[in-house]
DNA sequence: AAGCCTCTTGCGATCAGTTGCGACTGGAGA
DNA sequence: TCTCCAGTCGCAACTGATCGCAAGAGGCTT
């Protein structure tokens, strides 16, 4: 999970509030969980952690907040090749896009930012006259430790 | 949805049988639906169509068969940016990988094969010592008709 | 500080996808 | 052609995600 060099705590909350979105105790709890995360979390993990901050948080509020953050472009939703189960994973969206690689054997997730990926997207925008808002490149395969 | 120039009907079925996988009436029904599809289908659409071929097909059999085909590398699973709902879409995997672009306004799905995408994957394999088995690049944004 | 409007929430019902189980069957071998 | 059993199936119970609704609470206005 990529981290910015210097992160102001509560930044996510400020970004939302700055867009005129109402701040609630439940949202603050969920946002703090996402902000402090050191790995990709799924909805049930976010719920569990958020409840330690505010015990009233309900499952549906987590899903609704994740949906809000997605629509606002503040988080990205990942499949991670559905290595375990059908669920989705979430991570904060930072300045630089990155690729996710999931090892089909050991389950390790590797992240990688690539210049070629950036130019591929530029090329897509030019060649297909498509304005890209969000992009997701995920690959499944075998990591250096697991390939033979 | 990309189509091969000449497709032998029943090819998917032969591919499975050739790998020693048992062929059943239900599987034949589901395979034919996937083979004849002219667009990306979700599980409930596949179930509905398969039942018109064999009325006994159950929901769980569709999911189990999709899972089998995924594991065999014969179909790919797509999110299509979850333009509508959380579900997944399926398409046959053919020789050439392609990118999916989903328009967030009109919902149109555009497919695109790219030389740069192919070399990005090669570069990934080299730089990360990762052996790619399956890859998925999906982008959301605005198509030529919808961007202003 | 209080009122008010609107957005948000928890709850329960519902829907979609998964799993365990006993019955069934494809197809290899006799 | 018949037998046989591992693999597959339908079913029903279960789990995770969604939705509609009435109650609750941000935060602007006064
Ligand atoms: Mn990541
Ligand atoms: Mn997905
Ligand atoms: Zn590995
Ligand atoms: Zn469009």
Relative to beta strand A131-142, strand B109-112 is unpaired
Q: Say yes or no: A43 contacts chain B, CB-CB below 8 A.
A: no
Structure tokens at B90: 């399926």
Q: Are B134 and A114 inside 8 Å of each other by CB? A: no
* Residue A5 pLDDT: 63
* Residue B8 pLDDT: 72
* Residue A53 pLDDT: 97
Prediction pTM value: 0.93
Tell me which residue has tokens 């997701």: A136
| pLDDT tens-digit series, residues A106-132 | 999 999 999 999 999 999 999 999 999
When computed from its CA atoms, the radius of gyration of chain A, rounded to whole angstroms, is: 17
Task: State the Cα–Cα distance between residues B82 and B102, nearest whole angstrom.
Answer: 9
Residue A36's Cβ-side half-sphere holds a number of Cα atoms within 13 Å equal to 12
Q: Which nucleotides of C are covered by protein (CB under 7 A)?
A: 7-12, 16-20, 25-27
| pLDDT tens-digit series, residues B27-74 | 999 999 999 999 999 999 999 999 999 999 999 999 999 999 999 999
* Residue A135 pLDDT: 96
DSSP-assigned letter for residue A16: H
Q: Are the C-beta atoms of residues B16 and B23 closer than 8 Å to each other?
A: yes
* Residue A41 pLDDT: 97
Spell out the domains of chain B, with CATH numbers in brackets. Answer: 11-147 (1.10.10.10)
Say whether pLDDT at B6 is over 70. Answer: no
| pLDDT tens-digit series, residues B78-127 | 999 988 778 899 999 998 899 999 999 999 999 999 999 999 999 999 99
Task: State the Cα–Cα distance between residues B35 and B22, nearest whole angstrom.
Answer: 18
3-class DSSP string for B27-91:
HHHHHHHHHHCCCCEEHHHHHHHHHHHCCCCCHHHHHHHHHHHHHCCCEEEECHHHCCCCCCEEE
Q: Which nucleotides of D are covered by protein (CB under 7 A)?
A: 7-12, 16-20, 25-27
Residue A90's Cβ-side half-sphere holds a number of Cα atoms within 13 Å equal to 25
Q: Are the C-beta atoms of residues B28 and B61 closer than 8 Å to each other?
A: no
Spans of chain A, pLDDT less than 50: none
Q: Are A139 and B132 inside 8 Å of each other by CB? A: yes
């Amino acid at each position: 999970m990529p981290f910015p060099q210097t992160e102001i705590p509560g930044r996510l909350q400020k970004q939302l509030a700055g867009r005129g979105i109402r701040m609630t105790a439940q949202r603050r709890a969920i946002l703090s969980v996402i902000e402090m995360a050191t790995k990709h979390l799924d909805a049930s993990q976010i719920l569990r952690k958020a409840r330690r901050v505010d015990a009233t948080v309900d499952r549906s509020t987590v899903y609704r907040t994740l949906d809000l953050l997605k629509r606002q472009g503040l988080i990205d939703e990942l499949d991670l090749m559905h290595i375990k189960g059908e669920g989705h994973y979430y991570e904060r969206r930072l300045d630089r896009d990155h690729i996710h690689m999931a090892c089909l054997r050991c389950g390790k997730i590797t992240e990688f930012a690539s210049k070629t990926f950036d130019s591929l997207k530029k090329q897509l925008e030019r060649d297909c006259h498509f304005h890209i808002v969000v992009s997701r490149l995920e690959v499944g395969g075998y990591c250096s430790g697991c390939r033979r």
